[in-house]
Every structure is written in structure tokens, then in C-alpha cells.
Amino acid sequence: MSAASQGSTDGLADVDQPVVEAVNITKRFGSTLALSEAGIVVRRGETHALVGRNGAGKSTLVSILTGLQGADAGTVTFDGHPAPPLADRDAWRKRVACVYQKSTIIGTLTVAENLFLNRHARGPAGLIRWPRLRREAEQLLAEWSVDVDVRQPASTLTVEQRQFVEIARALSFGARFIILDEPTAQLDGAGINRLFNRIRDLRAQGVTFLFISHHLQEIYEICDQVTVFRDARHIVTAPVAQLSRPALVAAMTGEDVIMPEADRRSLPADAPVLLSVRDLVTPSGAELTLQARAGEVVGIAGGGGSGKVEAAEAIVGLTRPAGGTVTVDGRVLRPGSVPDALDAGVGLVPQDRHREGLVPLLSIAENVTMTVPGRIGRRGLISPARRDALARDTIADLTIKAAGPHVPVSDLSGGNQQKVVMGRALASNPKLLVLITPTAGVDVRSKQTLLGVVEEVRRRGTTVLVVSDELDDLRICDRVLVMFQGRVVREMAHGWSDNDLVAAMEGVDLHHV
């Protein structure tokens, strides 16, 4: 525990003081009120959840708690002492660290250099001593049991490794209060498990966490206290055990939200087979064969290395499969061709909306109609009127919160951006809709809308593939194919139990162990 002792211990003597206390914080951005007399108290050694819908003021609170922005009014104290001035970054870093969704790791530098950026080990002439720096980095990672080669460029790290490296770096500054901003959004089930084990270990060593997540089950799993923000205000703080799930959701949304589920219907016996995937082999070796009928919602579940995303990307032509055929409504798709897939009536919500889903500076209208120039064109020219009309329909159908079709999508919250991606997938009235992790990083309400849309398009006879490891996503499916290490290991009809499905995704069969 040398890092613990070498870190700042001033003020830690007073154990009764909360690690951080923010009182009556108000912050405006222009005309927008981001926080209105909100506050939070985090006590030593607890893992405190901060929840709220997108735009509730969580991010603003985080940037005020980490000293990136000053509050317009209100006070922040650490261990009973007033927060340091904003300019004194070192003082802030000794008190609090944040692992953001957006990485603060520099991909072009090595892991070792990232850990000691701007505080490199130096020799007498002020020159950096690389061997010592690498040794220190190895020691630091070993101390917090992070198994990563410090000489590799940080761009080669997985999301999970990157988070561990960022946590280790934060701890090495002496901070014992760490904010995790949606750390699980990009992790698979096994990765989340390892992260939680890490959090429990660190908590046992006296580290306090503020945990931000959209996944409520994670809060019940890992957190002691929960604070709910809504519309820039503090709503409630309570021990997790005393706040039931419906009560928590009600506090977040101001009303009750019920997630859609597949209803107990049976497909008409004569529903034609719309999608037929035969012996598909992805470049990484995952194999998939499946048939889906019109109006059927099929889930493909699996953990990080299961190959579910690769298989889905091969179906829609984003990657060129190593073998096999995909047939949509009797038409065999050209392998690796997105235009051909679009032409055949495939709609896609890709895995990473920032990378593949959206052009952030363009308007909602342009994004939504990107895949369907034919529908908005007139004699080869794009008709702005038709385009905007189509976009207005999408905004209304998906309840996108925006002033109009001309708002750039970069101005929207995460949930609304994802609705735009969904709108783009639906713009072509697809026969097959492929959704890859459609609700990653969106709030409860947007999730409800997005999943509700699936039910609607299903009724119109569209086949839907839901590729996800999120149980809420899979609950809307008529059946779920579970992939593990590149193979479909189980098929579960609607009505599966959570434990069975999770176990199957992890490659464990609860009934045959």
C-alpha cells in the first residue's frame, strides 16, 4: 500500500466529515439552468450512486466536483475543507479523480507515459529517465493488480483495461474518492463483473466511489447509497436497500415507466421466412445460422468475445464474411456490401453511434435521410421540403426532443441521438431491422421509446434482430440465440429467466453443472 501512504493524507484524520459535500449548487449555461440548488453528500468508504435521466445535471455536477468548472453559487467541501481554487489542478487531483466515458488516455503514447504524464521520472539534467518511469509504472499497476504491459501504446488497450489504468492513475495521485461516469456502458457482462470486483476490493481499502450509471440493476448490485437528480434538481438521497426499483424509476422520471416486453402472441403459422442466414462465418471465425419469419423479433445474446456483433455486421454488409450466405426476402445479399443490403431492405442501428451511426455536425433531417436519398429526391436533386417532412415524422414518432429537423445532432443528448440513429434505420421502411446494442448509454425513458418502436415495426411485419447483452433489450424478443466463443450454444424461447440467460452468455449451463 505504498501509494496510499505516499499520497496526500491531510484532512483524512477527520473520519466523520463527508469525503465530499456539495451544497446549494447552481450552474447555468446561457439560458439553460443545468443545476438548481442541487447538492450531494458522499461519506467515506461508501459507494454512492448518482442517477438521473440524460440532462438531469449529472455531468455538470461531476465537472463541478472535479474542479473543471466553477459553480455559479453554492459550496463544495472535501473532508470539511473548502475546495481548492480551480487553477490548482494538482490540489484537485489529490482529492478527487474521475474516469470519464470519454477517455483521458492518450492513445499514441505508451501506457507507462500515460500514467506519469507531465510528472515523468527525471534525472539530474531534467531529462526523463525512461527505464525508471517504466519500472514505476509497472509497480503502480502491480500494486493495484492491473495486468497490462506498460510499454504498449495505450490505443491497444481494451475499454476495460483502459478504465483500470485510469483508476490506477487516479489513485497514484493520492485521491481516495473516484467518480466513475458510466463505466459499464461499453463493457460486456464479464468485464462489468471484473470492474465490480475491483470496486469492492478498492472499497475495502478505503476508496470512496461515486458511481454513475443508467443500469439500475448495477446500482442495486454495487452501491450503498443512491442520489437521484431530475431536471437540474436534487430529488432524493437514500440507502439503496430502502429504495425499491419502481420508486427509484419514479424518482428519476417523475412517473412510472414500464419496459415493453414481448407480448404473448404466436406468429401466424403462414408468416413467411424473411431472413435466412446460412453457415455465415465472420472473419474472426464466429459462425451463425438462423431463420427468422416476418414479424418475428430474434435476439442474439452473448458476451464480449462471443462474435455476436461481428455476425450482425456481416449480415448487414459492414464486414465481409469469410463464408456463408444471407438471404433477405428471397434475395441473396452481396457479401460485404452495405448498399446492396440497404437496397434489399435492411435497416441498421450500428454498435457505436458516434463512429458509425451519426454525422454529428449535420442536422437531424440530413442524418435521418442519409440512407434514403431516393425517397427525398426529385429528378436527381434532394428536395429539402420532403426531407424535412420525413424528419418531422421521425421526430414525432420517436419523441425526439429537438426544436426541429434542422438541429445538429451534436446538440442532442445521448438518448435522442440514438433515436435519430433508429429513425435513420427506419427511414427506408426496412424488411429486416438489425439493432446492435440499441440502448447502450441511453436513459430509461429513451430506452422505453426505442424498445417500444421495435414492437411497432414488428406488427408491420418487419423482422427484427436484436444483438445485445442487455436483458431489457432481449426481453422484447420472441426467442434469443445465445452465442459463446463464436458459436450459438443455446436458443431460449420468450420467458427465460435472467439467471439462465446470463449464465448461458458466460458459457455456464446452470442445469448441467
Partner 1 sequence: MSETLSATARPSAAPPPTPPGASSRSLAIARLRDLALVPAIIAVAIVGSIVNPVFLSADNIINVLQSMSEIAIVVLAQTIVLITGKMDLSLESTFGLAPGIAAWLIVDPALTRGLGLDLLPDAWAVPIVLLVGALVGAFNGLLIVRFGLNGFIVTLGMLIVLRGLLTGISGGQTFFALPESMTYLGSATWFGVPASIWLSLLLFAVGVVVLGYTRAGRALYAIGGNADAARAAGIRTGRVLWIALIVAGMLAALAGLLMSGRLAAVPAAQGNGAIFQVFAAAVIGGVSLNGGKGSVFGAFTGVLLLFMIINVLTLAGVPAQWTNFLNGTVILVALVVSRITGGKAQT
Q: Which residues bind partner 1 (CB under 8 A)?
A: 89-90, 93, 102-110, 113, 117-120, 122, 126-128, 130, 147-149, 151-153, 156, 158, 160-161, 164, 189-194, 196-197, 216-217, 220-222, 245-246, 249, 257-259, 304-305, 444, 471-472, 475, 498-499, 502-503, 506, 508
Best CA proximity match to 228, nearest among 254, 204, 203, 206: 254
Other Cβ atoms less than 10 A from the Cβ of 269: the count is: 6
Residues 6+ apart with CB under 8 A from 147: 141
**Closest to partner 1 by CB, 282 or 371:** 282
Shortest Å, Cβ 419 to partner 1: 20
Min. distance of Cβ 429 from partner 1 in angstroms? 31
> Between 160 and 287, whose beta carbon lies closer to partner 1?
160
Q: How many CB atoms lie within 10 A of CB 497?
A: 10
Nearer to partner 1, 223 or 288 (CB): 223
| Residue 179 beta carbon to partner 1: minimum distance, rounded to whole angstroms | 13
Grid cell in block for residue 127: 531529462
- Complex with partner 1: residue 149 or 491, whichever CB lies closer: 149
Radius of gyration of the chain (CA): 25
Contact call for residues 212 and 180 (beta carbons, < 8 A): yes
Task: Compute CA distances 2 → 45, 136, 172, 205, whole Å.
Answer: 19, 12, 10, 12
Minimal distance, residue 461 CB to partner 1, in Å: 28
DSSP classification of residue 360: T
Residue 187: CB atoms within 10 Å: 19
Torsion angle, CA of 355/361/362/365, rounded to 10 degrees? 90
Q: Which is nearer to partner 1, 224 or 343 (CB)?
A: 224
Question: Residue 179: which H helix or E strand, with range?
Answer: strand 177-181
Question: For the chain, how long is the longest CA-to-CA vector?
Answer: 82
C-alpha 129: how far from its chain's center?
38
Dist CA 177 CA 206 (whole Å): 9
- Bridge partners, residue 480, by sequence: 299, 492
Tell me the three cell numbers of residue 212: 454513475
Nearer to partner 1, 6 or 499 (CB): 499
Question: Smallest distance, Å, CB 122 to partner 1?
Answer: 7
Please state the closest distance from residue 263 (CB atom) to partner 1, in A: 17
Q: How far is the CB of 431 from partner 1 (least distance, A)?
A: 30
Residues 6+ positions from 347 with CB-CB distance below 8 Å = 371, 424, 425, 426, 427, 428, 430, 432, 433, 434
Q: Indicate the SS3 state at residue 26.
A: strand
Nearer Cβ to partner 1, position 160 or 366?
Answer: 160
CB of 499 to partner 1, least distance (A): 5
Least spacing, CB of residue 117 vs partner 1, in Å:
4
Q: How far is the CB of 147 from partner 1 (least distance, A)?
A: 6
**Measured from the CB atom, is 152 or 325 closer to partner 1?**
152
Cβ proximity to partner 1, 1 vs 258, nearer residue:
258
Residue 10 or 509 having the CB closest to partner 1:
509
Q: Helices 130-143 & 159-172, crossing angle to 10 degrees? A: 100
